[in-house]
Structure 1
Amino acid sequence: MSANIDNVNTIRRFNRFYTRQIGLLDQHILDSPFSLSEVRVLYEISNTGNCTAGQLIESLLIDGGYLSRILKNFEKNGIVSRRPAATDARTRYLQLTAKGKKLMQTLDARSSRQIADVLAPLSAGQQQAVVHSMQTIQQALSERRPIALPDIVFRHELLPGDAGYLIYLHGELYAKETGYNLEFEAYVCKTFYDFLQHYHPSKDRVFLATYNNRIVGAVAIAGHSKMQAQLRWLLVHPDMRGIGLGKKLVQDAMDFCREKQYKHVYLLTTDQQTTAAKLYLEAGFVKTEEVPQQMWGHRLKEVRYEWRSR
């Protein structure tokens, strides 16, 4: 897939901005006599067990001849030393000397202070937004394994802001994926308002899936009586689909229903939500009704599914 030229230009503008912001155009880094490349080499040696020159070339994508000159300068200044591997004298490990370790402690402290100075003018919310954005960039561009279910953190405590964010996600995702209009978001707002008016953990539960402290999936059980409950607001963010998250959310919701001994659970959806429908059927729901409707800017069928305990 080729990159959009507007995206390319936006990233280039950000690169220029961030380079100025943290002083990467300075000849020397962190008020030290070292260049950025030299500091990166020191950092890798400090944080890599049994570090070799070959590992540095691979991890830093640095020219071998340039690295050799850096290492010779470090050894000359008593910052780095080499020791032969116990199993192969031809392999020599790089390590920081006592002087080198003290230097790295100083550089680490300066780096932390520099980042703290960048963040200091920002509010707590803005700082968190910056951190989340950087985590997203790292995740998207790194070569690490794809996100898997064990990476997701689950909770069911309903906190201030959760309902508002879920309303936002419903409005945004359904508009993009099915073309629902503002009437749908108003409907979601009203249903959440009704739910929160009567919410009590003894009969109701919202299951939230989070990644990097952001909600990426949800479902809820609303208890209507001692015997009956409703499953509502199943949602999985597009980035988290295909890892079994939707199935787990529905399973957790139905386990809660069994725990509370609900005999009858129902849900309302549309015939357009085919992926979710498969999850409901797998969980033991049965389609009981289809009613043609004109709503949310579409002509569709409202579908009712029901589950009954045996």
Structure 2
Amino acid sequence: MTIQEIRAFNRFYTNLIGALDYSRQLHAPYTLTESRVLYELAHSPRTDAADLRGELCLDSGYLSRLLAKFEKDGLIERVPSEKDTRRRRITLTDRGRETADLLNERSREAVGSLLSTVPPEARPRLVEAMRDIREILSDASRRPPRREDVLLREPGPGDLGWVVQRNAALYASEYGFNTDYEGLVARIVADFAEDHDPHLERVWIAELDGRPVGCVMCVRDEAPGAARLRLLLVEPDARGLGIGDQLVGACVEFARGVGYREMVLWTNDVLSAARRIYQRHGFVLVDEKPHRSFGTDLNGQDWRLDLQGVG
């Protein structure tokens, strides 16, 4: 009986979201699998075919044909990996990113249209039920999380609020910061939400097992040609997976790709783990001075990375 109920639910849900005719559902010439691969490429700063096979459980031959189609359509570029020349690094072209963004937008519209048919008072129950399904099935096949399980993505509704809340809570717990810090983070996030250039400024959310576990922001600095890295954060229970490295790497790669000459950041010396990450990515300490902020005595530091040097 349980198997029959699960199969019935699967048939119901795939019909409901149009999974069997996904290209018509989104008015796009790509299947559900092709759209998912484009999504992964758009939200992972460094990806090769082996990463995609592992993440999406795809047959290597099928994936190879799919990537060849994308390359023919001008959506991707394949170059030797910086770490292992036997592997090919896959990146989206400008056309590929535009296509991925369009598919993402249409998918969000489709889900929004579906959600509009659900009474507002029933929506929390629907989301909670979906979360229960995901958690139960994840627990059934639980294994220790790995670096490749982490997804870097753009923020969705509620994520910017999460950035403010988690920064305030973590820095209060780990460093004793008061609400002045929460106010600072709230202003930074509000400024980004209200007025930012999507071609030159971005926020990344690190997701693990369907929940946000980290974030970072790249915004224009006051100095001409400079980008500023802000609000790097990794949840305590997700540390040790290289998430901070992935977030900073995505930030640096984006800044270099859109033409910034340098990237700068301000931090405090008590954030030793973050400082080690910055050093690994080539940032150099250029100035430091003591100050009292957020209810505690600190030593502020300015760091700089030359983006026109060897990447």
Q: 1:130 to 1:105 in 2, by over 3 A?
A: closer
Which amino acid in the other structure matches residue 197 of structure 1?
E
> Residue in 2 aligned with 1:165?
162
- Distance in 2 (CA, whole Å) between partners of 1:262 and 1:107 is 51
Q: Offset at 1:180?
A: 1.2
- The structure-2 alpha-carbon separation of the partners of 1:130 and 1:295, relative to structure 1 and needing over 3 Å to count, comes to farther
Partner of 2:220: 223
Rounded Cα–Cα distance in structure 2 between residues aligned with 1:106 and 1:142: 18
Residue 193 (structure 2) pairs with residue 196 (structure 1): yes
Alpha-carbon distance in 2 for matches of 1:128, 1:301: 44
1:242 deviates by: 0.3
CA distance in structure 1 between the partners assigned to 2:122 and 2:227 by the alignment = 41
SS in 1 for 2:304: strand
> Given residue 280 of structure 1, which amino acid in structure 2 is its aligned partner?
Y
Quote how far apart the aligned CAs of 1:171 are.
1.0
Deviations 1:29-63 (A, max 9, x none): xxxxxxxxxx7xxx6xxxxxxxxxxxxxxxxxxxx
* Shift in CA distance, 109/161, structure 1 to aligned 2, threshold 3 Å: closer
**Distance in 2 of aligned mates of 1:138 and 1:186:** 39
Identical-pair percentage: 30
Measured in 2, the distance between the counterparts of 1:107 and 1:192 equals: 42
Q: Equivalent residue for 1:306?
A: 304
Cα distance in 2 for residues equivalent to 1:295 and 1:106: 57
How many residues of Structure 1 are paired with residues of Structure 2 in the alignment?
202
The code of the aligned residue for 2:293 comes to: M
| Counterpart residue number, 2:243 | 245
Q: What's the offset of the Cα at 1:274?
A: 0.3
Given the alignment of the two structures, is residue 286 of structure 1 paired with residue 290 of structure 2, yes or no? no
The structure 2 residue matched to 1:260, chosen from 258, 261, 277, is 258
Among 175, 178, 184, the alignment partner of 2:175 is 178
* Partner amino acid, structure 2, of 1:105: Q
Q: TM-score, normalised by structure 2?
A: 0.57
TM-score (norm 1): 0.58
Q: 2:36 matched to which residue of 1?
A: none
Among candidates 151, 154, 157, match of residue 153 of structure 1 = 151
The SS at the match of 1:147 is coil
SS of structure 1 residue aligned to 2:255: helix
Instruction: State the shift of 1:122 in Å.
Output: 6.2
- Between Structure 1 and Structure 2, whose CA radius of gyration is higher? 1
Per the TM alignment, residue 236 of structure 1 is displaced from its structure 2 partner at its CA by: 0.9
* Partner SS, residue 123 of structure 1: helix
Q: 1: distance between equivalents of 2:156 and 2:286?
A: 34
What do you get for the CA RMSD once the two structures are aligned? 3.0
1:150-187: CA deviation from partner (whole Å, max 9, x where unpaired): 2222213x433221111011111112222211111011
Contact 2:152–2:247 (8 Å) recurs in 1: no
5+ residue gaps, structure 1, are: 1-38, 44-103, 114-119
Amino acid at match of 2:4: Q
- Once the two structures are TM-superposed, the CA of residue 233 in structure 1 deviates from its matched residue by 0.8
Runs of 4+ in 1 over 4 A off after TM superposition: 106-110, 133-139
Please report how far the alpha carbon of residue 191 of structure 1 lies from its aligned counterpart in structure 2 after TM superposition.
Answer: 1.5
Q: 1:211: how far off?
A: 2.6
1:101 match? none
Q: Which structure would you say has the larger RCO, counting Cα contacts within 8 Å and 6 or more residues apart?
A: 2
Q: Distance in 2 between matches of 1:300 and 1:107?
A: 56
Cα distance in structure 2, aligned partners of 1:106 and 1:255? 47
Q: CA deviation at 1:232?
A: 0.5
Change (3 A) 1:129 1:170: farther
Secondary structure of the residue aligned to 2:183 is helix
Q: 1:187 is matched with which residue: 184, 187, 196?
A: 184
Q: Give the 3-state SS of the residue equivalent to 1:217 in structure 2.
A: strand
1:243 alignment partner AA: L
* Shift in CA distance, 299/128, structure 1 to aligned 2, threshold 3 Å: same
Alignment of 1:53-64 (within 5 A): none
How many Å apart are 1:142 and its aligned residue?
A: 5.7
The corresponding residue for 2:205 is 208
| 2:83 paired residue number | none
